Amino acid sequence: MQQFIESFQSIIDSQLFAQQVIAWQHRHGRNDLPWQNTADPYHVLVSELMLQQTQVTTVIPYYQRWLERFPTLEQLATADTDEVMALWQGLGYYSRARNLHRAAQQICRDYAGQIPKAANELREISGIGAYTAGAIRAFAYDLDGVIVDGNVKRLFSRFFAITGDLTSASQQRLLWRLAEHYTPPTDNRRYAQGLLDLGATVCTPRQPRCTECPLQQHCQALQQGRVDELPERKLKTQLPIRSGYFLWHASATGILLEQRPNDGIWPLLWCLPEVDQQQLMNANDWSEHGRFNHTFSHYKLQAQIVIQSAAGQTSIEPCQGRQQRIIAWHQLSSFGLPAPIAKYLSGHLPKPPPST
């Protein structure tokens, strides 16, 4: 492996590589994002968890609202879970919200409210993996934080002409080893931002702007005419389809919702009560209220919402062991709801009584 690594490192000197990235970022990179105006470690933590698998333009308003409501780590640590989840609603990947909440509590408990600098200590905190630890070190403390995300993988794959499945364990080790080697000892905040900016704005997945890239002189994919081939794309597999059944039990004043369990889809969010499919098929006192479809990363959900007939003899019971409550229509915004459920509810709000 070491000899293999050295063959890549011979393409360009690490100091020159860093200098080119830093100089380009200073002149052409993104320098006006909200989280770039501060080195506050808490702000960096919030932005980095929000940015996982989410575009910058989507994150900005969520980031701003979050800091308006929870301006300090301590305020987040003592916040109610429902309020945390409600504020995250629509951003998706809700485990990030739970991890951020737990991280705040853990940092207040174990580190006196101070986010640590050491990578090994950062990795002990809930929701902080190798990338996030590196980002905090770089952006909050301007230390040698190693980062490898989708943008960096694509940039390195083309620059070093790395083939194969970049998600495999061997290629992951290679990418991280290269990232460690090329991370400079100083000016890490601008270097890390430069790598991300190059991947997001120049070395893009489609139609990369190679003539604007500061690394073009040494880019192996450009020299070999393989920019469009790299990184090698995995064949997309068709997502399986799963059915889901949810109960509609509402009145003019409110609707019955349940809090999802801590595992599975939509953890800890409030949702229409889920109904067991077999029990539903054995009943004859229900009708369809509506449907919705939603695509997750690993399957497609085809959901049917059912309503129990008033004259029915068989009771349709939601799945057991979940907290349920009637929530007033005007209070829905205070609860974290899955995006498709929130959308469905918004289309079925009771009409206000006519004015007299």
Residues with a catalytic annotation lie at 48
- Residue position matching structure tokens 């997945």: 205
**Cα–Cα nearest to 47, from 9, 11, 14, 91:** 91
- One DSSP character per residue, 113-169 reads T----SHHHHTTSTT--HHHHHHHHHHHH-S------HHHHHHHHHHTT--S-TTSH
Residue 229 burial (CB < 10 Å; 0-12/13-18/19+)?
middle
301 Cα distance to chain centroid: 20
311-315, long-range: CB < 8 A, 24+ apart = 311/285, 312/283, 312/284, 312/285, 312/286, 313/285, 314/282, 314/283, 314/284, 314/285
**Is residue 221 within 8 Å of residue 161, measured between CB atoms?**
yes
**Cα–Cα nearest to 136, from 32, 40, 33:** 40
3-state secondary structure 159-196: HCCCCCCCCCHHHHHHHHHHHHHHCCCCCHHHHHHHHH
Cα gap 233→57, rounded to integer Å: 25
Cα gap 150→10, rounded to integer Å: 24
Cα gap 278→188, rounded to integer Å: 57
Quote the Cα angle for 240-244-245, to 5°: 165
